[in-house]
Structure 1
Amino acid sequence: MKCIVKIKFLGRFKTDVGATSIDIPIGDRASIKLLLKELRRNFKALSSVINDDGAPSYDLMVLVNGIDINVFDNLDELYVDDDDEILLVPITHGGRS
């Protein structure tokens, strides 16, 4: 059975992707890292915030059904299911000068 997850974009990602949200069909089960890799592959503008291995950079917050994925230990074992909502939020932060 194919699952469909909704990806929503905030801030500059809406412009980078050209949409406020997209629906992505996935197989029976896909990890969030696999999904992020797929987004990186399909939207080159996201390659600055999604690493080659599918991990988000420090400039990206990813929420799955409202929960920050950074609270999970292993993103390879965080699976998305049918009707899950993924939110990509750009993070702007300062540093030392």
Structure 2
Amino acid sequence: MRNLIITLFCICCLTLAYGFYLRYFTEDLVAGDRFLGLTILAVSFIVMPLFLYHRWKDRKVKDYMLDEDNIRRMREFNDSKESRKKPENQ
């Protein structure tokens, strides 16, 4: 999966560069705009969802949700940090 994402990303970078080349150096605006637009669509709808799936596939969503238990643990953690602070020198 990782190699596929890297390969697709590299291909998209190359087509993006080719689109800019067509647009600004050969002044073929229509073809350059098409390459740029298709590259943006490919990155948005193919590469980014694959990347997000790859990064989140083994994670628990519950760990990132703010529920009663997580709020309680955050408060306990903050209280323990405050109790460990050294008193300021007077």
Query: If the length of structure 1 is used for normalisation, what is the TM-score?
Result: 0.23
Larger C-alpha radius of gyration, 1 or 2? 2
User: Which structure has greater strand proportion?
Assistant: 1
